[in-house]
């Protein structure tokens, strides 16, 4: 298994946690045991919630799922023997796709103090978000750790929706307001989104909602009807491609009406129902909470410094800790050991989800110093790419490293140690660049 080196082999009888990766700044270290794939059957029971689209995803061919926000989340429609996720990728980059992302639970904050409350719990300035517009935001705890990185939709002057990533933010928001007593109501609402992503998404959405949808700006919102049912549409997505999200109101009642209307309109555009395209979001540098970041991650560690404005006068949760962290960084004494980078590396094409955080070493080194959090193969770049965590001193673009891959991706190669290098993120330009990308192309400090 080790092919003549000290790589800790997958499924070794004495698999141990890797202590050489410096995680001394964390209370709960990332589990770096290389335990490999474990064939299990996911139990479908009432312990985990089914979304309004769960049965429709099954009808569309969903054959596997994970759990996200305590809800079953489709993660595959095309079987591996038929080309697997790379077939789904082809549909995304060449045609148009629909994803069941009802796991993005919608937490509504509504009332006279809605703006003030939201401004207190996010790092960005909520007062600058106009009604019927949205922003990608982060919420931090008192230590500056990222609790969630949702899309925030402002439906009206006094109503916001947090479209959640994978952590249960409703309880946090309610707890904050028990102490602060803003005049707002906070609750999950019966709204479930699907994503419509790919180069033909605009034409499909125009067929569903009329040409008005073509004028929605990035992160703009529009109210309309799909399948005769009320929706909010945003020009957003998890890919960097052109795309939209359809937020269906009263989704428990009307899931079939909206879903089937999209399928019918999508036929002439080669619409395909697929799982979220992690291969494309990695290329765009889009993070996945719980996989790439968590509540012990500072925004300055993971390319989210632009989410911490220097000029927001109002107080917010985590502000003091984040300002102190930034001061340490600027003084050359960062309060963390590892930092996120993009990397490219060889080996056989990675065309499925990784079961472990694969280890990273310095070239020729005998000990791991970092780890891969999100890997995939990029057909455009013709190489494996990933988001990864490495020591601060290894973050410069072009820095050489080694990725220790499991045998399934090194068959026929002389070693599991695969050469790689640090790369700029995003790996290729996005159709819909985020604020960090825009600032970078303009030569600006996106920490401002």
Annotated binding residues for substrate = 245
Angle of the 169-180 helix axis to the 114-121 helix axis, nearest 10: 110
- What does the DSSP 8-state code read for residue 351? -
Report how far apart, in Å, the C-alpha atoms of 204 and of each of 57, 61, 101, 177, 238 are. Answer: 20, 22, 18, 41, 18
17 torsion bin: left (phi>0), alpha (psi -120 to 50), beta (else): beta
- What does the DSSP 8-state code read for residue 175? H
**Sole residue written with tokens 């002389």:** 414
CA distance 420 to 363: 9
CA-based nearest residue to 8, from 33, 28, 43, 39: 33
Quote the distance between the C-alpha of residue 154 and its chain's center: 21
83 Cβ contact list (under 8 Å, min separation 6): none
Quote the distance between the C-alpha of residue 52 and its chain's center: 22
CA distance 238 to 158: 27
What are the binding residues?
245
């Amino acid at each position: 298994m080790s092919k003549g080196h000290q790589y800790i082999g997958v499924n070794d009888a004495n698999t141990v946690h890797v202590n050489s990766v410096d995680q001394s700044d964390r209370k709960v270290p990332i589990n770096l045991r290389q335990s490999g794939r474990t064939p299990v059957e996911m139990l479908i029971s009432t312990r985990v919630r089914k979304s309004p689209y769960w049965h429709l995803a099954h009808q569309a061919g969903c054959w596997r799922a994970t759990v996200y926000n305590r809800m079953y989340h489709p993660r595959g429609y095309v079987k591996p023997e038929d080309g697997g996720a790379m077939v789904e990728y082809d549909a995304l980059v060449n045609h148009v796709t629909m994803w069941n992302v009802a796991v993005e639970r919608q937490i509504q904050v509504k009332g006279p103090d809605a703006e003030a409350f939201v401004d207190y719990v996010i790092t960005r300035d909520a007062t600058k978000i106009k009604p019927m517009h949205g922003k990608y935001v982060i919420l931090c705890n008192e230590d500056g750790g990222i609790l969630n990185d949702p899309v925030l939709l402002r439906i009206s002057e006094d109503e916001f929706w947090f479209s959640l990533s994978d952590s249960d933010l409703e309880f946090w928001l309610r707890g904050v307001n028990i102490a602060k007593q803003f005049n707002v109501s906070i609750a999950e609402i019966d709204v479930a989104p699907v994503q419509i992503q790919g180069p033909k998404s605009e034409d499909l959405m125009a067929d569903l909602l009329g040409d008005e949808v073509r004028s929605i700006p990035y992160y703009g919102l529009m109210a309309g009807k799909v399948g005769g049912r009320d929706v909010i549409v945003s020009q957003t997505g998890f890919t960097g491609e052109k795309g939209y999200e359809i937020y269906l109101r009263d989704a428990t009642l009307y899931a079939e009406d909206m879903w089937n209307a999209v399928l019918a309109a999508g036929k002439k555009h080669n619409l395909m129902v697929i799982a979220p395209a992690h291969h494309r979001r990695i290329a765009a540098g889009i993070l996945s909470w719980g996989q790439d970041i968590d509540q012990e991650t500072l925004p300055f560690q993971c390319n989210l410094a632009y989410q911490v404005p220097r000029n927001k006068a109002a107080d917010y949760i985590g502000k003091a800790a984040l300002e102190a962290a930034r001061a340490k960084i600027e003084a050359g004494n960062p309060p963390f050991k590892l930092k996120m980078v993009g990397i490219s590396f060889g080996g056989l094409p990675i065309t499925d989800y990784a079961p472990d955080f694969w280890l990273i070493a310095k070239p020729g080194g005998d000990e791991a110093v970092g780890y891969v959090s999100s890997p995939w193969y990029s057909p455009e770049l013709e190489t494996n790419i990933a988001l990864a965590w490495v020591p601060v001193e290894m973050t410069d673009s072009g820095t050489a490293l080694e990725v220790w891959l499991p045998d399934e991706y090194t068959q026929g190669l002389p070693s599991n140690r695969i050469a790689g290098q640090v790369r700029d993120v995003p790996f290729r330009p996005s159709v819909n660049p985020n604020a960090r990308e825009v600032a970078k192309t303009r030569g600006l400090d996106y920490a401002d």
